[in-house]
Amino acid sequence: MEQTQRGERILEVAGALLLAWGYRRVTIDEIARRAKVGKGTVYLHWKTKDALLLAVVLNAKSRSLRRQLERMRADPMTVLPSRMMCGLHRDYLADPVLRAVQTDDSDVLGRLNDTAKQELAELMAHGTDALRRHLQVLRAHGLVREDISVAHQHYAMLAVSTGFFMTEALGTGAPDSPAVPVAPEDRIDILAHTLRGVLEFPVAPDTDSADRTLAAATAVAPEIIALYEHLEELSSQEMRRQLRD
């Protein structure tokens, strides 16, 4: 237990320094000093600085994935693309590490983002596969449109979401900008509206239509949740791989 808590403390300190100083300035010495452990103790957990900071990135992604699963288990309608991406966007707004990763912030990440793309390539491929299979399940049950291919839907979903992420990062969502709504929830509502228009069928206001959509979402939720549970396990395996054997 003590070793686990010590590792978590080191991760927390490393994440805070990464955000405050950026990759190039962060040192193992400073992480150890602030975590109140010896430098050798850090190396007992992680082989290199890159392995430790990759673990920071992976930990942020894993937290978001766990929250996504919690939302899907609590509300099957969250399997719809518009609702899923809105939850992920809220995670993005709440987590500065996720924001740095999603916007490829070189001031924070330095070369770490390139390293992450290499080290986590297999995990990222599994994430891509999970999302495409997710869309295929929704198509099979009439919950998203079929007028374009799954590959094109996948691209559209990511392109729209990335555009919203980048707009936040560029500061056009700042309170003093009149070009966009001020409230984060207003911006998230616009994201949902956009994705519904691109991917989903309009839900008529009558009760029968809403009930049919809920019933279909409830039917497919276990299969979709299983996709992301598998991805969560792969993420945990990758986290363990970054640890010193």
CA 162 to chain centre: 12
Please determine, for residue 215, whether its predicted confidence score (pLDDT) is greater than 70.
yes
Asked whether the beta carbons of 231 and 126 are under 8 A apart, the reply is yes
- Which residues contact residue 61 at a Cβ distance below 8 angstroms, ignoring those fewer than 6 apart? 98, 101, 235
Q: Is the pLDDT of residue 142 over 80?
A: yes
pLDDT for 157 beyond 50? yes
Tokens of 242: 């970054």
Per-residue model confidence as pLDDT tens digits over 1-19: 466 788 899 999 999 999 9
Cβ burial, residue 156 (10 Å; 0-12/13-18/19+)? middle
Q: Distance between terminal CA atoms of the chain? A: 18
Q: How many other C-beta atoms can be found within 10 angstroms of the C-beta atom of residue 240?
A: 10
- Measured CA to CA, the distance from residue 212 to residue 202 in angstroms comes to 12
How does pLDDT run across 229-240, given as a tens digit for each residue? 999 999 999 888
| Pair 58, 236: CB distance under 8 Å | no
* pLDDT at res. 1: 46
- pLDDT at residue 24 in the model: 92
Backbone φ and ψ for 200, nearest 5 degrees, come out as: -110, 165
Indicate the pTM of the whole model: 0.89
